[in-house]
Structure 1
Amino acid sequence: MSKIEKAKGFKHTKPGLWLSIGTSAFGVLSIVKDIRKARSEQDNLLLANAAVGALALVTGTALLVRELRRLGDDDVLLG
């Protein structure tokens, strides 16, 4: 297996999923910043954009957690 193939497969491993969840956590900082800016400027459009971004972040994280649980279910040692 080549290094590129290994790197592509990393996304579907437990460490890869944890890394993805961790990077999603950094997305929260950007969304909080946008929400604060939107409130201070009373910009409803920017607030709506931040809310949609937050919803996408929550949905993406939920999908990653579900994938992580599925990997755990396949593990014979976990029961």
Structure 2
Amino acid sequence: MSALTKAKGFKKSKSGLYVSMATSAFGVIGVVKQIKRARSESDTLRLVDAIVTGAAVVTNLAILYREVKRLGDDDVLLG
């Protein structure tokens, strides 16, 4: 099995999904900073952009969580 094939399989593993979730969670930090800056500058357009970006991050986290649950359906300990 080549290294590229292993790397592609990592995305669909539990550990790969957890890494993706952690990466997306760090996106929340950027969104919070963007919202604070937009509010301090009273910039409505930046605030809307931050809200839309935040919604995308939340949606991404929800999708990744669903994938983790699907992988865990056959595992008795995960419930």
Specify if TM > 0.5.
Answer: yes
- Secondary structure in 1 matching 2:73: helix
- Give the structure-1-normalised TM-score: 0.93
Kindly state the Cα deviation for residue 75 of structure 1 after the two structures are TM-superposed.
Answer: 3.4
Q: 2:73, 2:53 → 1: CA distance?
A: 30
Alignment match, 1:15: 15
2:45 alignment partner AA: L
- Give the structure-2-normalised TM-score: 0.93
Structure 2 unaligned spans of 5+: none
Aligned length: 79
Percent of paired sites with the same residue:
59
What CA deviation, in whole Å up to 9, does each residue of 1:41-70 have, x standing for no partner? 000000000000000000000000000000
- Secondary structure in 1 matching 2:12: coil
4+ residue segments displaced more than 6 Å: none
Structure 1 unaligned spans of 5+: none
Structure 1 vs Structure 2 CA RMSD? 1.4
